A and B are shown apart, each in its own frame.
Chain A
Amino acid sequence: MIATVETRAFRNLRDAVVELEARLVVVEGDNAQGKTALLEAAYLAATTRSFRTRDPRDAIAHGAATTIVRALVRGASDSEIELEIRLGRDRGTRAFFVGKSPVKLPEYLGLVPALALAGDSVRAMKGSPAERRRFMDRAAAAARPGHIRDLGDYRRALGHRNRLLRDGAPDRALAPWDEILARTGEAIRSRRRRELASWQHEIGAWPELFPEGAAARLAYRQSAEGPLADALQASRADDRRLRQTTVGPHRDDLAVELEGVDLLRFGSAGQVRAALAALTLAQLRAIRAQRADSEPLLILDDVDTDLDGGRQQALLEAATREAQTLASTTEPGLASSLAPLRLRVAGGAVGRVG
């Protein structure tokens, strides 16, 4: 569990050490006061990434060259480790420390598994197949490190193949790239499917939060049926005409089907958020099953968005059973029955409430 987070030159937060040692921390505050920044700092210390922007260097405070985030993590039997990440404005000036010693990224990652459900994730998931693929890939990459490498190889091979299609290159030039796309693409698909299968198992486990879960079917929708090698072969004529590759995991999609209708695309905002929350809880269960030694962190930014009071309560109750939960809200007094550690952020300063 993250006991404290300390920030230096991080967004608009005042430099300070903030105590977070509780199963549930509710961070209150009006918009633009810094409550999301506090959640972002905790998530950054755990994952080295931001759930708000692609480039975490966006979090370096105006006028500063470097930001530092430290997290003190208390494990089982009161063992303690200190994680520290430093981000400089210049490319490449990132450094990670575990217990004051510099480490490489792979040694740093995974010490605190963390997931985030942001306020705008509903809009993103509804509108963008790319976002739905990223949702699967983040989970697949957390479970299997080889996933990132295959995604990178796949994208590079795809770029080469698309270039050949634009240039009207002959079949013998396309053939090796098809073979590489088939190998890496099938690996990507099978890891995504494995994640879906494990979520399917759990998605009905939170009926007060996501009542549709018991009947929902998670579907991996392929851009073309059958093995990718065959699909690439079969789509060559189309691909040449369109000058790009039209089949493969870069065109596949995730659906949460209810009687054949995809909730993620056609459900109400409340249904989509509840479905996303249930998928996130299912991922946390999978993480805990694999990693009994480490306590995951869950970020719920703007937890009240799109959810009615009953579902908010159900989400927060379920979340605190699966992970240390940091939730932000503009509503004072949220989740009082769960007796959270309550913080209030105003003008970048974090204070304790009550």
Chain B
Amino acid sequence: MRPLPEPIEALVARLVRLPGIGRRSAQRLAFHLAREKPDELAGLARAIEALPRELQTCTRCGNLAAGELCAICSDPRRDESVICVVEQPENVAAIERSGAFRGVYHVLGGAISPLRSVGPDDLRIDGLLERVAAGGVEEVILATNPTVEGEATALYIARQLRDRPVRVTRPATGIPVGGDLEYVDEATLSRALAARRGVLDED
């Protein structure tokens, strides 16, 4: 039994696939959109359609970009001697909101997860190693998510960087375990970044 008109039902079926959207929220959004003016809807549709066409992956760091390089990689004021490694572009956005970091990023595109068949080769780890090998990098901050998969990814990268002349650090605790960098408040994130420590330190 489907009491909703077919166009609304079709939209709801799409919306419920989005993160954090249940059937109830999807219906609310669909009914809201049904009341909008056609111009407004066309604008929304154009913005969505433009994503795959105009959005690129930064060739240097893996962040989302409007051109070949992302806004951060093309900003000459950023400190290229410090690279902050994160899992996803939304993690970059979260750290940028905190304003606590003036270096550059490297976006892996996920975390190592054998149970989901994601290995080191499925992430942008080689690209990171190449950036470090090219020189000029003094510190790599491994700011993967505080999950076991994020921790394993950080440990794996730390081992790969062990013989390179760079300091390898991880943000201090304070980020809730099992959480996601994206949802950490900005003050906590600033504190965790400021109090980072060496991954291979023995203490």
Q: Which residues of A contact B (CB under 8 A)?
A: 149, 152-153, 156-157, 159-161, 163-164, 167, 169, 172-173, 175-177, 179-180
Contacts and interface: CB of A to CB of B under 8 A. Distances in A.
Interface of B: 112-115, 119-120, 148-149, 151-153, 155-156, 159, 177-178
B115 A176 contact: no
Nearest to A149: B177
A291 to B, nearest CB: 25
A175 B120 contact: no
B177 A160 contact: no
Given A172-B159, A173-B119, A180 B151 contact: yes
A180 B115 CA distance: 16
A230 to B, nearest CB: 16
Q: Determine chain B's interface SS by DSSP, over half rule.
A: helix
B114 A176 contact: no
Contacts of B113: 160
Contacts, number: 47
A169 to B, nearest CB: 7
Contacts of A167: 114
Given A157-B152, A179-B155, A180-B152, A173 B115 contact: no
A177 B151 CA distance: 9
Given A160-B114, A169-B114, A149 B159 contact: no
Contacts of B156: 172-173, 175-176
A19 to B, nearest CB: 42
A176 B178 contact: no
Contact of B115 (A159, A169, A172, A175): A159
Given A160-B114, A163-B114, A149 B152 contact: no
A172 B149 CA distance: 15
**Sorted from nearest, which 9 A-B pairs have the closest CB atoms?**
A176-B155, A176-B152, A163-B114, A160-B114, A176-B156, A156-B148, A157-B148, A153-B148, A164-B114
Contacts of A169: 114, 119
B177 A180 contact: no
A175 B120 CA distance: 13
A160 B115 contact: yes
Contacts of A180: 148, 151-152, 155
Contacts of B119: 169, 173
11 contacts: A149-B177, A149-B178, A153-B148, A153-B177, A156-B148, A156-B149, A172-B159, A173-B114, A173-B119, A175-B155, A175-B159
Contacts of B112: 176
Contacts of B178: 149, 152-153
B92 to A, nearest CB: 23
Given A149-B178, A169-B114, A173-B120, A160 B152 contact: yes
Contacts of A152: 178
Contacts of B148: 153, 156-157, 160, 180
B151 to A, nearest CB: 6
A179 B113 CA distance: 15
Contacts of B155: 175-176, 179-180
A179 B149 CA distance: 12
B152 to A, nearest CB: 4
Contacts of A159: 115
